[in-house]
Structure 1
């Protein structure tokens, strides 16, 4: 083959692959369903953070950063719910729709902060969430975790823990919230598989936790009520201003019940839709300028349990 023709063909193929990758990255995989206080996003392809907007589309590669006393809830196309709590930095890594309802779903990387992941449709999520020192597989259940110095804060004074000598930056606390193996509404038994340091630990009973850091793991162990309350506080920010707030931030806003977000991908029964589960107490004066005029009702918020 003529070398010029070969070069042109290779260049055309590279352009086609690049265009396909861009198109995949630009496809919406979820929506911002609830925002409290200071939450910023860096959409894929952009170089700067900007305030997150209610109903804003979430795409593969998007980064979210939350401040103190802040919260974001993302509804994904498979009906998984990802809640980003205080002091967090999260990247949506991938999203795969699996026609067999088996291996598809979302995965995310959490560099720091608190989060909750609730399984949606389909089977096990291998590596659904990754932290600097662990990978968490989720099987039809709810997992909560916190990465960084806040993990040490949550575990402060916890009975039975060994002395910690690692870096606070990668300390990771992971807890199975439930439901258990007979929990309703899921196709598979509720459990999480935590892989860290070359070993995998399976947690099947709500309330069990793992603590991991670079060079060590501890658990499974029963998380104390005090530690559980501290973790919950990081995930349930009050709708008030805080030191991280800026004029573009949302004080408290959420989609109204029944206000479904519908995406373009279609299955055998038509377009997939996800229903929000969080409302809001009130809209602050600094509602994000990109948010629609509606979307806030008078009912108190109903965070995912």
Structure 2
């Protein structure tokens, strides 16, 4: 069998089972890397000049972008079980994705171009994740963190674990490690600094979660046809 990994997704929205497969045999023109588990209002995929609406349970692919409109929300779950929740008026580029059960190393590269997000680490080694905004790079250490980013400034809030936040400008590059829940880094092209207590620039994605609990509940793909489930109750195909 030439498939490195096959994850079964069932019961998503219309109840149709999806097989998410990552091939080893050669180049893949549209590599499937995950699926939507939450879609509220206006959520679209962008590929070149093409724009198509996304629904709950739709597959997402490498080298495309996902965009949300006003009053819109989405959640993506990737093959390695990374969870990415997306707030209104956001746009993310799914730049690179390499993952399989048969290879110990992988790569996830995401560009958070604008908007608000919550990122929950998946099963890959922490060094495999490359998260960028227009002004920041975020080094993942086994982590949950929130991001609010514009073209000129990014605000990163640690929810759990640890992250290292650096400016994208390599010379001179400034970095700040967040290792306490609630710690905040503010990044611009000129540098990175911690947020002052009570600062209006502090941000939490949690405000979107109350009315949309599935948006912020860690989700894994279920093997047995019950759809995405909380992490403690789910299993992977082949495990």
TM-score calculated relative to the size of structure 2: 0.70
Number of the residue aligned with 1:181: none
CA distance 1:223–1:123, shift in 2 (3 Å): farther
The CA deviation at 1:276 is 4.2
1:191 and 2:171 are equivalent in the alignment? no
- Cα deviation, residue 277, structure 1: 4.5
Cα separation, 2, equivalents of 1:131 and 1:202:
17
Q: Indicate conservation of the 8 Å contact 2:166/2:192, yes or no.
A: no
Q: Does residue 171 in structure 1 map to residue 153 in structure 2?
A: yes
Match of 1:137 among 124, 136, 139: 139
Q: Does 1:41 align with 2:23?
A: no
- 1:12-51 superposed matches below 5 A: 20-21=26-27, 23=28, 25-42=29-46, 44=47, 46-51=48-53
Structure with bigger helix share is 1
Higher RCO (CA-CA < 8 Å; seq separation 6+): 1
Where does structure 2 lack aligned partners over 5 or more consecutive residues? 1-24, 232-239
Q: Contact 1:124 / 1:138 at 8 angstroms: preserved in 2?
A: yes
1:229-260 deviations in Å (ceiling 9; x for gaps): 76433x44967xxxxxxxxxxxxx99xxx994
* RMSD over aligned Cα atoms: 3.4
Q: Is structure 2 residue 228 aligned with structure 1 residue 275?
A: yes
CA radius of gyration, larger in: 1
Cα-to-partner distance string for 1:46-73 (whole Å, 9 max, x where unaligned): 5221211211111111211111221110
Q: 4+ runs of 1 displaced by more than 6 Å?
A: none
2:176 is matched with 201
Aligned length: 199
Unaligned runs of 5+ residues in structure 1 are 1-18, 149-168, 179-189, 240-252, 263-273, 279-305
